[in-house]
Amino acid sequence: MHTNNKHALQYDAVLAAPFGAIGIAVQGVQVVIELLPERHTPKPAQHKMAEKVASQIEAYFSNAYNDFNLPIVYKGTPFQRRVWQAISAIPCGRVLTYGEIAEQIGSGPRAVANACGANHLPLIIPCHRVVAKNGLGGYMRGQVDGLKIKKWLLKHEGISFQKSKPMWPK
């Protein structure tokens, strides 16, 4: 469960993931995806939307270049949605820095980082593709094993590492 939430989500599906598990919750027209660093008992999708999300996440794990195509409502402020739109345009196998995203949308790197932290659709909105100027930056609001998951996702997409610093393509 998300350690930062006061109320644990009831998942409509739980998938095994190479780094732990993924919980998918459908709340009306909203979908929430949580990357979980620990193993959980898989749970088949209990909802049609959860089934679609689970299927596309599994396709991503099979091939990082599979695109997500889901009719999802993005819940967030207008600023967060602008950041998420910019992040969603980063192609698989590439990264941008918080500063580069900030420059694109006329903001600051810290505000971009905060919008990344508010992302409730990781993988679909690939915040793991946003890094610091001189390293990985953060992930999952500093949750335990968040950076381990970020490193795994980037490696899955073809970003190689030397020690803890990623080597990203230009």
Question: Per the domain annotation, does 66 fall within a domain?
Answer: no
- Residue 161 belongs to domain with CATH number: 1.10.10.10
Question: Per the domain annotation, does 52 fall within a domain?
Answer: no
Question: Per the domain annotation, does 136 fall within a domain?
Answer: yes
Per-residue pLDDT at 160 = 72
Range of the domain at 143: 78-167
Sequence-ordered list of residues with C-beta below 8 angstroms from that of 4, at least 6 positions apart, any chain: 141, 143
Question: Per the domain annotation, does 129 fall within a domain?
Answer: yes
* Residue 85, SS3 per DSSP: helix
pLDDT above 50 (res 105): yes
pLDDT above 70 (res 155): yes
Question: Per the domain annotation, does 159 fall within a domain?
Answer: yes
pLDDT above 90 (res 3): no
Question: Per the domain annotation, does 146 fall within a domain?
Answer: yes
Active site residues: 127
pLDDT above 50 (res 4): no
DSSP state of 162: E
Mean pLDDT of the 124-131 span = 95
Mean pLDDT of the 143-152 span = 86
**Considering its fold, how many domains does the chain have in total?**
1
Question: Per the domain annotation, does 162 fall within a domain?
Answer: yes
